[in-house]
Amino acid sequence: MEKCPLNDFFSPAQRARFLEAVAKRRSVRAYRMGPDMAQLSALHFAAARVCLPGVRIVLHDAEPELLFRRLPMVGGISGTNKYAAVIADDSVTPRAALHAGISGEAFVLEATAMGLGTCWVASFRKNAVDIPLNPHEKVLAVTPLGVSNEVSSGRKRKKLTEICVGDPASWPLWAYHAAECVRQAPSAVNLQPWRLAYAGRTLMLMKGGVGGSALDLGIALLHMSLGVGDKPHEIQWGEGKEIASLIAEDEA
Ligand SMILES: Cc1cc2nc3c(=O)[nH]c(=O)nc-3n(C[C@H](O)[C@H](O)[C@H](O)COP(=O)(O)O)c2cc1C
């Protein structure tokens, strides 16, 4: 089985910061203002630090009404011109789009930890992205960046039992926490297109239900790895609907 580059990519301090940010992150669509200069330089640093092979995250400016498409049911994006683009190149890196989900969510969680709002947006106007791209690069998603002007609301999520095969209450605590952390993850149209199964020290992340872009699944994989906390583990890629497996080290 092929090892996932997420193994040991983030430091324990980063992982602890991301895990704390998971509980705070919500999609923010109305902003009071963009990030200040100090936040912008920290965001530039984070964008460079979180990128796995085949991924670039670039900060740029655009009028929100030109860049973001307005979706039915959710408000449009307003109040900040600053955004980040999540760019992938799969010409040399297999699974670059999954890497983009992992790195993009790590960036979103860094921004959350700085007190900033974000919102993954896949429905944007490509011609409004004024960033020079290499021939094989694609902008997979963008996120506005700024100070939220919203009152944080509760999360709508499926029950844990709906996204788990078997009863997660009978799993070891680390696997239960990892599944709960996946449950908190953002997904396009909130479809939560994942399933988790546990057997013999292994927690498997699978594509489930409708939807399930590589971005959604990369995001879920980062959440799964954060949810195990400091339990030593290794992540291996799967094939087809089996995205990846997290194998916990045996207790000494
Ligand atoms: C890959 C991806 C694409 C998304 N695209 C859009 C979008 O185009 N427009 C939008 O308003 N929200 C978009 N979202 C945000 C989701 O609607 C949101 O994450 C979901 O409803 C869960 O809400 P929460 O992020 O507040 O937990 C996207 C989320 C993901 C992960």
Residues 139 and 204 in one domain: no
Q: Which two tokens stand for residue 97?
A: 């789009």
124 within some domain: yes
CA of 74 to the centre of ligand 1 (A): 9
Q: Give me the domain span that covers residue 48.
A: 27-148
17 within some domain: no
9 within some domain: no
2 within some domain: no
Per-residue pLDDT of the chain (252 residues; tens, 9 = 90+): 799 999 999 999 999 999 999 999 999 999 999 999 999 999 999 999 999 999 999 999 999 999 999 888 888 999 999 999 999 999 999 999 999 999 999 999 999 999 999 999 999 999 999 999 999 999 999 999 999 999 988 889 999 999 999 999 999 999 999 999 999 999 999 999 999 999 999 999 999 988 889 999 999 999 999 999 999 999 999 998 899 999 998 765
Integer distance in angstroms from the first to the last C-alpha of the chain?
24
Which of 187, 191, 219, 223 for mutating ligand 1's site (highest number of atoms within 8 Å of CB)? 187
Question: Which of 148, 176, 203 finishes a domain?
Answer: 148
Q: Which residue, chain included where needed, has tokens 């991924």?
A: 55
> Number of folded domains in the chain?
2
Residues 71 and 43 in one domain: yes
CA of 152 to the centre of ligand 1 (A): 15
CB 164 within 8 A of CB 196: yes
Q: 125 CB less than 6 Å from ligand 1?
A: no
Q: 186 CB less than 6 Å from ligand 1?
A: yes
3 within some domain: no
- One-letter identity of residue 251: E
189 within some domain: yes
CATH at residue 120: 3.40.109.10
What angle, rounded to 10 degrees, do the helices at 96-113 and 214-227 form? 60
